[in-house]
């Protein structure tokens, strides 16, 4: 029975085995076809790249030299582009590397910028497969350059290390880009009526020196002004708030000139003066009140406290002066004249010498005490009648009243001071 079943099902087994073989052969055929297609695609890509590389033009050094020689042949760098036809338009943009420090004494600030100017010069057009000529500073003196100057500059330095920091680009359509790096000390007249909570707008002005508006016209490029990271700037007492730019016309005898201005908004850091000025002065005034709690008979303690307070005031005031003034003060011995603050009780300790003549007179007055002062010779002094009708206040009472009066006066002064500064 088993052999019969094996004979009966053997064709089906053979058929299944041959079907599996055909399926494996079909899969191998498809896989080989895909590999061939991928190889063909890669060959096509290599062929395209090779064709592009073969068709790329080669620019030789001699060709660039020939272009520059042809541009400079007959070129007059003393004449501006399109002279007698139309004004030359100069597009400007500025990149600010850093600002600071700000000098409030000389009313100026330092700024490091990269100044860029772009204009069109039809005499510099050329036909070549090369779109732009990238040149260095050696070419700058051979073509026309705008005579731009900074109007509120007190001192300007161009960077020349290791080579002149100047860049020149000439496009085949005649467009010229010229950039240079400058460090400028510019005027900034600070309005100090709100010191130390003041805010300022320091300008940077530039225009053409010799060409009026009908010859050269300045325009801002977009973006016009960009700045580096302000956290590396040396502003010290100030914080950078923002900037804005403007364009105006200056009317002079020689003509109307276009003036481009960048305003840098600065705000003074209040924390600096709080630590350097306000807190030390407040503590000094509070220190002067300690004498009200010292016994009136402890004269050395009161004297030491007054001298210590004077030394503190002298330290802070001397640090505000210039070094030359301090050296001059050391040579010339100045008189001691301490300043008085609202709420301060600092009193200069002057040595008092009693007037003495050829003869010393002593009198028994004021309850039997010897007195060398001249007024003790009067009868009213001996009897004490000079005290009649006068107010009698004890020293202890004065100290008690001062413990309340001076802190209250100082608090009222601060209230008026801060309200006036912040809100008026």
Q: CB–CB of 341/413 below 8 Å?
A: no
Question: Mean pLDDT in the chain?
Answer: 76
Coil/strand/helix, residue 98? strand
d(CA 267, CA 272): 12
Closest to 264 in 3D by CA, of 94, 21, 124, 22: 94
The predicted-structure confidence for 150-201, as pLDDT tens digits, reads as follows: 999 999 999 998 889 999 999 999 999 999 999 999 999 998 888 888 899 9
Burial profile 54-66: b = 16 or more Cβ within 10 angstroms, e = fewer: eeeeeeeeeeeee
Reading the block at residue 193, the tokens are 């009526």
The predicted-structure confidence for 74-108, as pLDDT tens digits, reads as follows: 999 999 999 989 999 999 999 999 998 999 999 99
For 309, phi then psi, to 5°, come to -65, -40
Closest to 126 in 3D by CA, of 171, 177, 62, 77: 171
pLDDT attached to residue 222: 87
Reading the block at residue 197, the tokens are 């909570």
pLDDT attached to residue 61: 62
For 164, phi then psi, to 5°, come to -55, 125
DSSP class of 180: E
Return the H-helix or E-strand segment holding 267. Answer: strand 255-268
Strands 238-252 and 255-268: antiparallel
pLDDT band at 287 (very low <50, low <70, confident <90, very high): confident
The residues, any chain, with a CB within 8 Å of residue 270's CB and separated by 6 or more, are: 196, 197
Residue indicated by tokens 């730019």:
245
Q: CB–CB of 151/130 below 8 Å?
A: no
* E-only strand ranges, 106-164: 108-120, 132-135, 148-150, 153-158
The predicted-structure confidence for 372-409, as pLDDT tens digits, reads as follows: 454 455 555 545 555 555 555 666 778 788 889 999 99
pLDDT attached to residue 387: 57
């Amino acid at each position: 029975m088993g052999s019969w079943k094996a004979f009966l099902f053997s064709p089906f087994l053979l058929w299944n085995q041959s079907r599996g073989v055909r399926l494996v052969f079909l899969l191998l055929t498809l896989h080989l076809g895909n590999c061939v297609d991928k190889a063909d695609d890669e060959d096509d890509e290599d062929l395209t790249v090779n064709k592009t590389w073969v068709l790329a033009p080669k620019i030789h050094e001699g060709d660039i030299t020939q272009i520059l020689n042809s541009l400079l042949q007959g070129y007059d760098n003393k004449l501006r582009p399109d002279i007698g036809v139309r004004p030359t338009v100069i597009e400007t943009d500025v990149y600010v590397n850093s600002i600071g420090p700000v000098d409030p004494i000389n009313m100026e600030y330092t700024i490091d910028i990269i100044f860029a100017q772009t204009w069109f010069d039809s005499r510099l057009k050329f036909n070549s497969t090369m779109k732009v000529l990238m040149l260095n500073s050696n070419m700058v003196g051979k073509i026309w350059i705008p005579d731009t100057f900074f109007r509120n500059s007190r001192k300007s330095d161009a960077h020349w290390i290791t080579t002149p920091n100047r860049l020149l680009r000439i496009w085949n359509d005649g467009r010229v880009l010229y950039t240079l790096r400058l460090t400028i000390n510019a005027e900034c007249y600070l309005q100090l009526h709100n010191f130390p909570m003041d805010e300022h707008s320091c300008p940077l002005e530039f225009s053409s020196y010799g060409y009026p508006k009908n010859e050269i016209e300045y325009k801002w490029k977009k973006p016009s002004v960009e700045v580096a990271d302000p956290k590396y700037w040396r502003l010290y007492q100030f914080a950078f708030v923002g900037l804005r730019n403007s364009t105006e016309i200056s009317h002079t005898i020689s003509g109307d000139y276009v003036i481009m201005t960048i305003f840098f908004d600065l705000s003074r850091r209040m924390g600096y003066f709080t630590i350097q000025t306000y807190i030390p002065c407040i503590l000094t005034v509070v220190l002067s009140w300690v004498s009200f709690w010292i016994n009136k008979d402890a004269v050395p303690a009161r004297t030491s406290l007054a001298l210590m307070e004077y030394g503190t005031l002298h330290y802070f005031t001397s640090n505000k002066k210039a070094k030359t003034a301090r050296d001059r003060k050391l040579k010339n011995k100045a008189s001691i004249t301490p300043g008085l603050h609202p709420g301060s009780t600092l009193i200069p300790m002057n040595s008092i010498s009693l007037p003495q003549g050829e003869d010393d007179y002593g009198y028994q007055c004021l309850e039997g005490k010897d007195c060398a002062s001249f007024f003790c010779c009067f009868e009213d002094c001996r009897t004490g009648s000079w005290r009649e009708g006068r107010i009698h206040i004890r020293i202890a009472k004065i100290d008690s009243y001062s413990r309340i009066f001076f802190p209250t006066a100082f608090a009222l002064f601060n209230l008026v001071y801060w309200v006036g500064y912040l809100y008026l």
